[in-house]
A and B are shown apart, each in its own frame.
Chain A
Amino acid sequence: MAWQWFHRLGSPRWFYEKTTAWMPWLAALSIALLLTGAVWGLAFAPADFKQGNSYRIIYIHVPAAFLALAGYYIMAISGAVGLIWKMKLPFMVMKSAAPIGALLTFVSLVTGSIWGKPTWGTWWEWDARITSMLILFFLYLGMIALQQAFTHRDTSDKASAVLALVGMVNIPIIYKSVDWWNTLHQPATIKFTSKSTIDPSMLYPLLIMVIGFYAFYALVLLLNTRVEILRRESRTQWVSDLISATNKRA
């Protein structure tokens, strides 16, 4: 009984129908959180006494970076679930998660670069976190490239799941290596703004933005997955029923 939900996850149709009801709620939640966090963070939170207003980009940068990394794990774990239990749905989630993750990594790189210009006086710095993010971006790009290379969908799913798992094992190693490499080469001119204490007045909007980004990520991932379900199941009866029902309503 307790595992019934898991067995049902094997059915893309069940998932599609179940999530239809969630979508408006999730959309409302993520918009509300993102709006609150953005307005609070950008307009009402106090300016940093060292960096002035430029620090406010963290309200985008930090949540995007969080989700970029979490997204890889979500992708790899769904790939693993698909490989182990031979289910269709997790592969669809995995495929949908790759471009979102790549985009978030790109956003965090670009915002970091924009932040770096006024703070460090340079667009690009071979700092440990930037470099790790760049490598994560490469991992995502490799994943997307592999997914698109196969003509056979089953092979594509399984092969990219293996790659995602290999990447997942490697990410901690890559992060630690880059960290070590960076402390070795750390140029003296760059001083990190002390990470020690962030004032609650700045922290709360950041937390709201992080939760908002999670909600928004879930929303986009579900939307992408639902499109992928419709695309892959387009020959089945329930999808054509769904389309004719939608057409009738319109």
Chain B
Amino acid sequence: MADQYPAVSLWGGFIASFRRDMLIAARHKAELTNPLVFFLIAVTLIPLGVSPEKSVLALLAPGIVWVMALLATLLSLDGLFRSDYDDGSLEQMLISPQSLYFTVMAKVLVHWLVSGLPVTLLAPLLGLMLSLPGEGYLPLLASLALGTASMSLIGAVGAALTVSLRKGGLLLSLIVMPLYIPVLIFGASAVQSAVQGGAVGMQLAVLGAFLALAIVLAPIAALGALRISTNG
């Protein structure tokens, strides 16, 4: 049957699903801004709840920005496969002759571009509000760029596992959060170390290693989970 359709290369399939998801994301702009607004509000709560003292905030800033970025990524995960599952296009993707690995990769890449990347770009502003010392900004950007990408990939597994559940959102957070801990440790530590005048190469290298590992393994686990979720 396959010969009735023009053969689509791996790369072509990847580009096609990437463009489709980018288009969908561009048409739902409100969903893009929600994690960012959450990020902004949640960070604002810290000075109100802890202390507006500059010295206190500067000490806490690397950790707070990182934890809040983690939560913002987490909140946007539920929608990763949800609408495709609801309207049935996910099943079409699963039975298509295309490599599912690249379809999942395209989806995760789009997710990162519309959630992780904006969060990363917004982070220096929030660092400013929390009076993060000057040496911290570049490591903050670098560690968040690497870290949010890993978190999108790891989160895709959780999103795939819970996509068939009506109220999967909270459960998704429960199962994914423990898996985020290594990323958080090294990400926040990179910023902390830079602020204290130390080197950040090691932390960024480890974050890069996590990302490499996640690129290889996470889509495989996610597509296995998608197969399970759709035939249940």
Contact = CB atoms under 8 A, between A and B. Distances in A.
Interface of A: 135, 138-139, 141-143, 145-146, 149-150, 152, 154-155, 158-159, 162-163, 165-167, 169-170, 173-174, 176-178, 180-181, 184
Nearest to B179: A170
Contacts of B97: none
23 contacts: A135-B181, A138-B178, A141-B174, A142-B171, A142-B174, A142-B175, A146-B162, A150-B164, A150-B232, A159-B225, A162-B161, A162-B224, A162-B225, A163-B175, A165-B221, A166-B157, A167-B178, A167-B179, A170-B179, A170-B182, A173-B210, A177-B186, A181-B189
Nearest to B164: A155
Interface of B: 157, 161-162, 164-165, 168, 171, 174-175, 177-179, 181-182, 185-186, 189, 210, 217, 221, 224-225, 228-229, 231-232
A149 B167 CA distance: 9
A142 B168 CA distance: 12
B181 A174 contact: yes
A142 B232 contact: no
Contact of A178 (B179, B181, B229): B181
A143 B176 CA distance: 11
Given A166-B179, A166-B221, A146 B185 contact: no
A180 B187 CA distance: 13
Given A138-B178, A142-B178, A181-B189, 20 more contacts: A145-B175, A146-B161, A149-B168, A149-B171, A150-B164, A150-B232, A155-B231, A159-B228, A162-B157, A162-B161, A165-B221, A166-B157, A166-B221, A167-B178, A167-B179, A170-B179, A174-B182, A176-B182, A178-B181, A180-B185
A173 B221 contact: no
Nearest to B182: A177
A149 B165 contact: yes
A155 to B, nearest CB: 3
B139 to A, nearest CB: 15
Given A166-B221, A178-B185, A146 B228 contact: no
Mostly helix, strand, loop or mixed at chain A's interface? helix
Given A169-B217, A177-B181, A177-B186, A162 B228 contact: yes
A96 B34 CA distance: 40
List the 8 closest A-B pairs by CB distance, nearest first: A155-B232, A142-B175, A177-B182, A158-B228, A138-B178, A152-B232, A181-B185, A177-B185
A153 to B, nearest CB: 9
A143 B174 CA distance: 9
Contacts of A181: 185, 189
Contacts of B168: 149
Contacts of B217: 169
Contacts of A138: 174, 177-178
A167 B217 CA distance: 12
A180 B157 CA distance: 26
Contacts of B162: 146, 149
A149 B178 CA distance: 18
